[in-house]
Structure 1
Amino acid sequence: MIAGPSSAWQALKRAWLLYHLGDERFRFMWDPPPPDEWVALDCETTGLNVHSDQIISVGAVRIVGRRILASQRLELLVRPSRPISPESVRVHGLRERDVAQGLDSDDAMMRLMRFIGSRTLVGYYLEFDVAMIDRAIFPLLGMGLPQPKIEVSAMYYDWKSRQLPPYLHGASIDLRFATMMRELDLPLRNGHDALNDAVMAALAFIKLRELLGRA
């Protein structure tokens, strides 16, 4: 079988990235992912500036098929080198003394990368979390996370759009997390805890795959 242009380009890109990989121990992230597996991910941070703020908490859980593997979860506290903004403390409740005994950033990121492996990432407004992680791992790898990413709010938007009559296509859709969970008839756990948020994103992902006919 002859590889098409797309697969040839992907192979070339993979080879180029592996050649420039800063730490050979993490080559496994470019392996073919386990079939029908994903990792739902969430982070809490010192603030919302992706250029200067830092991760203080990571929560992740593995998804296999239609199941969330609660026994295969990751929950880490990370010790930052900068203060946590008061606005962020009001959101996630983590104070500097709460994370003072946390892991250093490099150790936490290495544990996270091993937990993820080559699995596709799932999350709610995942772009922010990935940007924070990419900045933290760049000194280790010389690049960001290579795994594909799936945004559950985009899946939810697709599902809600299908329910609109033609004359309302393109109308604004409420993408707030609480609204999404309510519309999907899913439990809303205590918010702004990284592991809880990752589990809720995983629940939404599984439900939306079924509703969109992707399961």
Structure 2
Amino acid sequence: MNLFAWLRAPLPELAADLHQRLARLPRPAPAAVCSLREQRWVVLDLETSGLNPNRDQVLSIGAVAIEDGAIALGRPFERTLCRPEQKTNASVLIHGLGPSALAAGSDPAEALLELLEFIGDSPVLAFHAPFDQRMLERAVKDSLGLRLQQPFLDVAELAPMLNPDTVLREAGLDDWIARFGLEVQARHHASADAQVTAELALILFSQARRQQLDSPLQLRQRLGQWQRRKVQHHGL
């Protein structure tokens, strides 16, 4: 047996209809020059069994779309994944996902494919996006045998970039929620966290327009410049 074939993880077995739906998924679009208001965004939040992206699992997914400059409240996305083997721990309990909820959840392959269909070719926003992106990449690869290609933008970095005069001790989601006086139905719940992150994103988009950043491409380019300056500053 070829050594590399032995090391490569086997592809998951999928039903024919799932293969057909995978083939119909659109390719992610490059950063657009349309206005921030014209761009459709998907705001994502994952609840996981822990913080190790190499070992822990995605337990539930919440997402909302921002369309025409507003949150599409009538079409949220929410799924709890079937994880009957998941042991109860502090990370699981904080999300309110007990054994019965995880045992009754959706098939992971079906739920993740539905999420990709919901995202379409839109860019994804998340708070601490690199973690969500890495967790979702592994989940999609394990359950669908697919390489995740959707571009992510980190709200946790957009916020301080657009508010340089705001100094927060932790600068977590709760801190920015309090900074802008947003109300939250329930924290550590994927759909509620996605909703409040979308509300925060709309505030940040308004600030971006006032700073002459009115397209996804301009916003991504400015964020890249800000990140490079931050790295250079910490390297001194």
Counterpart in the other structure of 1:51: 54
In the alignment, which residue of structure 2 is the partner of 1:167?
none
User: Are 2:90 and 1:87 aligned?
Assistant: yes
CA contact (8 A) 2:25 2:117 kept: no
Q: How far apart, CA to CA, are the structure 2 residues paired with 1:143 and 1:72?
A: 26
Whichever residue aligns with residue 185 of structure 2, its letter is R
Partner Cα distance (1:26, 1:150) in 2: 24
Check the 8 A contact 2:126/2:197 in 1, yes or no: yes
Partner residue, 1:195: 191
CA contact (8 A) 1:157 1:173 kept: no
Taking structure 1 as reference, are residues 108 and 212 closer, same or farther at Cα in structure 2, changes over 3 Å only? same
CA offset digits 1:81-130 (Å, max 9, x no partner): 53244111332111121121111211111110000001010111122122
AA paired with 2:63?
Answer: A
* Counterpart among 107, 116, 136 of residue 104 in structure 1: 107
Taking only the aligned residue pairs, the percentage that are identical comes to 26
Residue segments in structure 2 that go unaligned for 5+ positions in a row: 1-18, 215-236
Instruction: Tell me the secondary structure at the aligned position of residue 70 of structure 1.
Output: coil
Q: Aligned partners of 1:136, 1:90: CA distance in 2, in Å?
A: 21
CA distance in 2, matches of 1:81, 1:97: 8
Q: Given that residues 159 and 208 in structure 1 are in contact (C-alpha distance below 8 angstroms), is that contact kept between their aligned partners in structure 2?
A: yes
Q: Quick check: 2:42–2:119 contact (8 Å CA) kept in 1?
A: yes
Distance (whole Å) between structure 1 residues aligned to residue 150 and residue 67 of structure 2: 16
> In structure 2, how many angstroms separate the alpha carbons of the residues matched to 1:31 and 1:159?
25
Give the distance between the partners of 1:84 and 1:43, measured in 2 at CA: 18
Whichever residue aligns with residue 102 of structure 2, its letter is: V
Letter in 2 for 1:197: D
Deviations 1:143-200 (A, max 9, x none): 12x1221111111111231x26xxxxxx775312111011122223310110000011
Q: Quick check: 1:38 aligned with 2:41?
A: yes
Q: Which residue of 2 aligns with 1:29?
A: 27
- Provide the residue aligned with 2:156 in structure 1: 153
TM-score by length of 2: 0.71
Structure-2 separation of matches of 1:195 and 1:100: 19
**Alpha-carbon distance between aligned partners in 2 of 1:156 and 1:62, rounded to the nearest angstrom:** 19
Listed one character per residue, the Cα deviations across residues 38-87 of structure 1 (whole Å, up to 9, x for unaligned) are 00001111222211211111111100132000112111010115324411
Q: Give the superposition deviation at 1:26.
A: 4.4
What is the SS of the residue equivalent to 2:163? helix
RMSD of Structure 2 on Structure 1 (CA):
2.3
Report the AA paired with residue 29 of structure 1: R
Q: Secondary structure at the match of 2:171?
A: coil
Partner SS, residue 102 of structure 1: coil
Which residue of the partner structure matches residue 4 of structure 1? Answer: none
User: Structure 2 CA distance, aligned partners of 1:119 and 1:176?
Assistant: 25
Structure 1 residues 198 and 119, CA, compared in 2 at 3 Å: closer, same or farther?
Answer: same
Q: Are 1:143 and 2:139 an aligned pair? A: no
* Alignment check: 8 A CA contact 2:48 2:60 kept: yes
Structure 1 unaligned blocks of 5 or more: 1-21, 165-170
* Corresponding residue number in structure 2 for 1:211: 207
1:127 and 2:123 are equivalent in the alignment: no
